[in-house]
Structure 1
Amino acid sequence: MNWTDLVKARIKEIGMTQEKLAELIEVTPGGMGHWLNKRREPSLSQIAKILKAVSLDSLLLHSDGTLEYPDEAISNVVHTKSPVAYQKKFPVISYVQAGVWTEALELCMSSSTDEWYETTERTSDRCFWLRVQGDSMTSPAGTSFPEGTLVLVDTEKDFQNGSFVVAKLTDVNEATFKKLVIDAGQKFLRPLNSAYPTMPINGDCRIIGVVVDAKIKIT
């Protein structure tokens, strides 16, 4: 189920108006209407606030806008489980491990971590989850990856202009997660938070992989 359908069913169940929901998360009623009617897309952090405001806790939000939730989460929504045609599980690793991914691959794909999460995206077998640190990829509007978001990195997917990538700079010991921008042949690593600088790639950077999925835990 898409998060918008779940929220609309929930506010109907608890007798809340869209106007009251907008007030609770400090946006205009018109803005809330755009979000719930899929005319505009809020950030993941804004979706999290909406779900919390209607008391939908411990839900798992996928990057395609669908949710995993307990059957009893909402009474007037029928949750039907359909078989997943494609599903793989990958480990969560640290930024340091990601920085030496080629060397750490065998270790990371073994039982060296207790955290493994599934994806229904079609990926290669050489993927890992990375937990976002800090707020450099948090944006006040549009696509946003707040701290704590899990992003799935496919090390065999080709990058292009606009891809979200994990890269390794030669002068640091760990990886970085940024948006790749290619302008007139020059590559840049750009944060989504304008408070952080854009970094030009001048032969001192290796792109480890492309982000193909993301999950944020609603608590």
Structure 2
Amino acid sequence: MNMKWYEVAKIRMKELDINQEKLAEHLDMTKGAISHWLNARREPSLDDIAKIMKYLGFSEFVVNHDGTISTAGGNENVSNLIPYKPGKEYPVLSSVQAGCWAEAIEAYTLDEISEWLESDAHIQGDAFWLKVEGDSMTAPTGQSVPEGNYVLFDTAKEAMNGSLVIAKLTDSNEATFKKLIIDAGQKYLKGLNPAWPMVPVNGNCKIIGVAVEAKMRFL
């Protein structure tokens, strides 16, 4: 029996490590709308289904009248619907301290960079990966980015209240990875680890990238 389009979509999202927020951002839709569609609480238009399937790497497919999906030739093997689509590679520039300010050692040319990691995230400008050091972004519950994770930063994405950012001191070559807090016009950098204090940063640092993805490598 053919699977519903949203069942196939959720399988593909899990394979590609794409969450509802990332899908909503790419399609310029609300996360709530995506959630309703993927959980069959509301029915999207055929055009919206096509946009979702295209983003998830589907090529030729047919959405049947009952919401099931199959290939144009009638093959019901879901794996045939989903060809592997590699993401773009971005350079790993250096490590970043998730703790105190630390020296940011950066490669000067792409030829000097030996490690590149793949991502299918929607990137607005230049992007790069950094490996997290320290424990200030390790939280006991909720959002957490432990030491050893690689974080992808988008240099063109706007930093907003609650964004995870890499900030660099304006008068030195030092940087840190923190959560940006904006309260009544005052900006602060805060660790996800509650043991780390919130630090005011108005005027003395520059946000050079907003975190869009994190991954852990075991090898």
- When normalised by structure 1's length, the TM-score is 0.56
- What is the Cα deviation at residue 113 of structure 1? 1.6
User: Greater share of strand residues, 1 or 2?
Assistant: 2
Amino acid at match of 1:136: S
Other-structure match for 1:88: 88
**Cα deviation per residue 1:96-133 (whole Å; 9 max; x = unaligned)?**
799587xx6x61xx121211001011103510000000
| Distance in structure 2 (CA, Å) of the matches to 1:99 and 1:123 | 23
Distance 1:126 1:194, change over 3 A: same
Other-structure match for 1:115: 115
| Distance in structure 2 (CA, Å) of the matches to 1:83 and 1:111 | 31
Question: Please, which runs of 5 or more residues in structure 2 have no aligned partner?
Answer: 1-10, 16-76, 97-101
Contact 2:90–2:118 (8 Å) recurs in 1? yes
Other-structure match for 1:189: 189
| Distance in structure 2 (CA, Å) of the matches to 1:111 and 1:84 | 28
Identical positions, percent: 49
Distance 1:154 1:86, change over 3 A: farther
- What is the Cα deviation at residue 165 of structure 1? 0.4
Contact 2:125–2:157 (8 Å) recurs in 1? no
- What is the Cα deviation at residue 149 of structure 1? 0.3
Contact 1:89–1:117 (8 Å) recurs in 2? yes
Number of aligned positions between the proteins: 140
Other-structure match for 2:175: 175
Distance 1:185 1:86, change over 3 A: farther
Contact 1:123–1:154 (8 Å) recurs in 2? yes
- What is the Cα deviation at residue 202 of structure 1? 2.2
Distance 1:79 1:165, change over 3 A: farther
- What is the Cα deviation at residue 169 of structure 1? 1.6
Amino acid at match of 1:205: C
- When normalised by structure 2's length, the TM-score is 0.56
Distance 1:187 1:125, change over 3 A: closer
Matches for 1:55-204 after TM superposition, within 5 Å = 80=79, 82-83=82-83, 87-95=87-95, 99=104, 107=109, 110-204=110-204
Distance 1:190 1:88, change over 3 A: same
Higher relative contact order (CA 8 A, sep 6+): 1
Amino acid at match of 1:187: K
Distance 1:141 1:172, change over 3 A: farther
| Distance in structure 2 (CA, Å) of the matches to 1:121 and 1:161 | 21
| Distance in structure 2 (CA, Å) of the matches to 1:98 and 1:115 | 20
Question: Please, which runs of 5 or more residues in structure 1 have no aligned partner?
Answer: 4-77
- What is the Cα deviation at residue 94 of structure 1? 1.4
Amino acid at match of 1:122: H
Distance 1:144 1:127, change over 3 A: same
